[in-house]
Amino acid sequence: MLFVQDVTKKYGKLLANDAVSFEVNPGEISILLGPNGAGKSTLIKCIAGLLKFTGKIFVNGNDNKSLQAKRELGYIPEIPALYEMLTVWEHLEFIARAYSLQNWEERARALLKRFELDDKAKKLGSELSKGMQQKVSICCALLPSPKVVLFDEPMVGLDPHAIKELKKCIIEMRQEGAAILISTHMLDSVDEFWDSANIMINGRIAARRRRRDTLGSGEDLEALFFAITEGSKIKSYNDTCGNENLHPEEKLG
């Protein structure tokens, strides 16, 4: 389970995240939606333990900067970067050693096969294209079977097969009880499997929805997204849908 409470992140005077709170339960796929500069990647980096912040973040009950939390967390960064002088297989071996994994080889082979990297196992990081690097980055994050997984724009740069496999992987992880958080600004890429959605703008979560609620109310997530992110449309949207669907903090206008 991922628990985020009052997370605020400032870069000098710039408020990148403003008292953000939400949680992702086991077996749930939660998405962070928002336009460029909304603060999604900053929030993901805070959760991954890369940035300082005020507030609380817990990964399965452990402070996110503790080694135990890191053992249970998988992070796929927006820009994949591999060690130039490690082969694909050696990246996985390094991860296995870092996470003290036992009998990891079979899972590693399965992941490589799934992402069509099995014939690239002996290729160095420097010899891979951006898309392949992204696939290796995904394999590295998934090898330890994390209980909480963070994806930062995971579909960017992937080929159609890899996108299909990644979506399958995400759904399988949900079935296995992982809490999954996906940051994206591409609604279409996550439309088929999200369970909860957090729409961010100006560093704040402007709206939260659960799929089951929107199915019941007939509310369209895309319409809500544009209503929030394109300020001029808020009024007309509220007039159409009624304000009762919005949190108090959602009333941006």
Q: Is 189 in the site for another protein (CB under 8 A)?
A: no
Count of residues that bind another protein according to CB under 8 A: 39
Q: How far apart are CA 217 and CA 129, in angstroms?
A: 44
Evaluate whether 153 touches 184 at the Cβ level (below 8 Å): yes
Q: How far apart are CA 9 and CA 205, in angstroms?
A: 13
Q: Which is nearer to another protein, 32 or 206 (CB)?
A: 32
Q: Which is nearer to another protein, 88 or 221 (CB)?
A: 88
Q: Which is nearer to another protein, 69 or 205 (CB)?
A: 69
Evaluate whether 43 touches 17 at the Cβ level (below 8 Å): yes
Q: Which residues pair with 151 in a beta bridge?
A: 76, 182
Q: Which two tokens stand for residue 164?
A: 């299909």
Q: Give the interface segment with another protein, choosing from 24-32, 61-69, 193-201, 243-251 (CB under 8 A).
A: 61-69
Q: Which two tokens stand for residue 105?
A: 């080889």
Q: Give the interface segment with another protein, choosing from 5-13, 26-34, 102-110, 230-238 (CB under 8 A).
A: 5-13
Evaluate whether 157 touches 134 at the Cβ level (below 8 Å): yes
What part of residues 75-134 is at the interface with another protein (CB under 8 A)? 75, 77, 79-87, 90-91, 93-95, 97-100, 124-125
28-33 and 54-59 as β-strands: parallel, antiparallel, unpaired?
A: unpaired
DSSP 174-194: HHTT-EEEEEES-HHHHTTT-
Q: Which is nearer to another protein, 79 or 223 (CB)?
A: 79
Q: Which is nearer to another protein, 66 or 217 (CB)?
A: 66
- Cβ neighbour number for residue 103 with a 10 Å cutoff: 7
In the complex, the smallest distance separating the C-beta of residue 226 from another protein, rounded to whole angstroms, is 28
Q: Which is nearer to another protein, 77 or 238 (CB)?
A: 77
Q: Which residues are near another protein by CB under 8 A?
A: 10-12, 45, 48-52, 65, 67-68, 70-71, 73, 75, 77, 79-87, 90-91, 93-95, 97-100, 124-125, 137, 140
